Amino acid sequence: MTEKSKSMKPLALQQGGKNDMSISIDVSYKSLNKHHEELCGDKVEILKTENSNIIILADGMGSGVKANILATLTSKILGTMFLNGAKIDECVETIVKTLPVCQVRQVAYSTFSILQIFHDGKAYLVEFDNPSCVFVRDEKLIRLPFTERIIADKKIRECRFDVKLNDCLVLMSDGVIHAGVGQVLNFGWTWDHMAEYTLESTKKTLSASRLASILSKACDDLYMQTPGDDTTIAVARIIDRKVVHIFTGPPRRKEDDETLMQDFMSGEAQRIVCGGTSANIVSRVLNREIMTSLNYIDPDIPPTAHIDGFRLVTEGVLTLNRAVSLLKKYVEESIDENFFMELDKENGGSRLAKVLIEECTSLKMYVGKAINVAHQNPNLPFDLSIRMHLVEQLKDYMKKMGKEVTVKYY
């Protein structure tokens, strides 16, 4: 493996001065199990502290159950110690003393990469025998200024650097650079080729999850859908804080319309309205015209409308239900290119889900509690209504994705 590419530029670290930057980190990963194995021998831990995000990728020796246990123990030990403020020296020494070395091959129990990104833009990366991190900035591959040292007879590489908006970092297990060995390629994908492919892929505006899916699919294709090794990609993208406001459902009392609208319109945010009655309230209070469409892109989802200054105006319950189903799939299932094809569709549900998944770090929902007789039996309490149930589901899935969510009822 080589860690240098023809188009790589050395990273110029920021020196001195106060870094007042406040960033958000979009993190996602995707793994392929070795062919015929039920469990993956790689393990990714994504942790959050008050001022940072930590991504740990451990690759257990061998494959199957044994590798899975070793990788899981390694990632858990590293994560717990890091969260409690331990230094990398202590972490490595603990792992060396805790986990076994293969008596036959005399090789490491588990390799690992640890990336910690602080919200002020500082970053720390340490690697032990994993392929080196791919770092993309301003459409160029950047060479990180690693130093090497020995801890408990193990050689580790580490560096401290600054990140900025739109930077992209990719951690990987060695199954990535071995993809295609003896099948499509004689010597595997190699680090250089993988880095160049990552660079080309990031030239499009991609979320971490979409990029992880693209890179994982490339590996799977090189393996001809029968991976010869556990293969894991973990992506971290540095993004600006993106706030989304959603207004759905009229308030229980009509006199609260203006109060709700005042709250909904406060601050900088992308604004989305879900529901015909909600859109009419926006139009009346703000004196802005609703431009409706009769273009049924999807026969099951009513068409969207447009109000000046709003990102999206949709029908209510049917659209929310489609969006929630996509969020559920994103959170609970293994997503692939087919999922993103569904996310890119032009119907209101897909468009809403795409904003929430790829363009939102903080969601504020403004929910009216008026009962819509078209949606439920008016004798039932509000908390059993379809809309309320969808709002609760949407909130839960967004929180599982690591987004900040607040809901205010009227």
pLDDT of residue 383: 44
- Bigger pLDDT: 374 vs 87: 87
Among 96-100, 130-134, 145-149, the minimum mean pLDDT is found in 96-100
Question: Binning pLDDT at 50, 70 and 90, where does residue 6 land?
Answer: very low
Question: Is a pLDDT exceeding 80 seen at residue 219?
Answer: yes
Q: How far is CA 4 from the centre of its chain?
A: 27
Task: Write down the mean pLDDT value for the chain.
Answer: 88
CATH topology of domain 9-239: Phosphatase 2c; domain 1 (3.60.40)
Residues 225-238, mean pLDDT to the nearest whole number: 94
Query: What is the end-to-end Cα distance of the chain in Å, rounded?
Result: 59
pTM for this entry: 0.86
Among 93-102, 192-201, 205-214, 290-299, the minimum mean pLDDT is found in 93-102
pLDDT of residue 185: 62
Return all residues near 326 (Cβ < 8 A) that are at least 6 apart.
Answer: 339, 342, 343, 349, 350, 353, 357
For the chain, the domains span 9-239, 243-409
pLDDT of residue 186: 55
**Per-residue buried b or exposed e for 165-204, using 16+ beta carbons within 10 Å of the residue's own CB:** eebbbbbbbbbbbbbbbeeeeeebbbbbbbbbbbbebbee
Question: Binning pLDDT at 50, 70 and 90, where does residue 183 land?
Answer: low
Residues 399-406, mean pLDDT to the nearest whole number: 93
Return all residues near 286 (Cβ < 8 A) that are at least 6 apart.
Answer: 261, 265, 307
How far are the Cα atoms of 186, 187, 190, 400 from residue 180, in angstroms, in the given order? 7, 8, 10, 34
Residues 127-136, mean pLDDT to the nearest whole number: 95
Question: Is a pLDDT exceeding 80 seen at residue 200?
Answer: yes
The single-letter code of the amino acid at 225 is Q
Residues 73-82, mean pLDDT to the nearest whole number: 92
Residues 152-173, mean pLDDT to the nearest whole number: 94
